[in-house]
Structure 1
Amino acid sequence: MGNIGTPELLIILLVVVLIFGSAKLPQLARSLGKSARILKAETKGLRDDEEQPAAAAGPAAEPAAAPSAPSARDRAAQLRAEAARLEREAAEQEGRRPGALPSGEPIEGVPVSDYGRNQR
């Protein structure tokens, strides 16, 4: 009952193509890949954070001598730098300059052509 076979996968793929359109599928896959990489990095960071206090809890370790985990601000700065790097890579792949808005994609529900007028 819980097995998904080839016919079911084809039906799911057809529904996805109908919902998102074939032109948006590469962008959707790229976005999904970025999200998976970020999730993997965050879970690794959480595991590292859990292992550091366990290693420092030994009787010979002094609190001042134990390496401290990166602060929230440091981690936020690292994530911003990673996001900027990913944006530059995506812009290069799409043939646009970094920071430029992808053409035709709505931002906050407003078409890109109208978005700049509302920001002034």
Structure 2
Amino acid sequence: MKNSIFIWIIKIVAVVILLQTLYFKFTGAEESVYIFTTLGIEPYGRIGSGLVELIACILILIPRTTLLGALLGIGTMVGAIFSHLFVLGIEVKNDGGELFILAIITFLCCLVLIYNQKNKIPDLLKFKI
């Protein structure tokens, strides 16, 4: 019981962080446009990553698909973390590193969810025709 409450807290933390960034991506907020312009993938990268994050949120919340959502989330966060480390810098437009920290937190939450669902990984590799 305690484990399932902990897992739901982890799911909610990851989903809340992912969802709150969607507003900025989908409305073309200045900071979001700056980030994706700097990366050279504006507007398609901004909107595309927003869609992937939205799908990840939905999948994370559905118990049967939590593993898939966490894999999508962790993949997106690896991209975000690498972008911060190698292109953008930790601090973007004087945010004090907030976006980088949120990416790390989301990465860790998704990692916990993947670890929790590790017994389902072999099922992902089976192809049913």
Q: Common fold, TM-score beyond 0.5?
A: no
- Normalising by the residue count of structure 2, what TM-score does the alignment of the two structures yield? 0.33
Q: Which has the larger radius of gyration?
A: 1
Task: Report the TM-score, using the length of structure 1 for normalisation.
Answer: 0.35
Higher helix share: 2
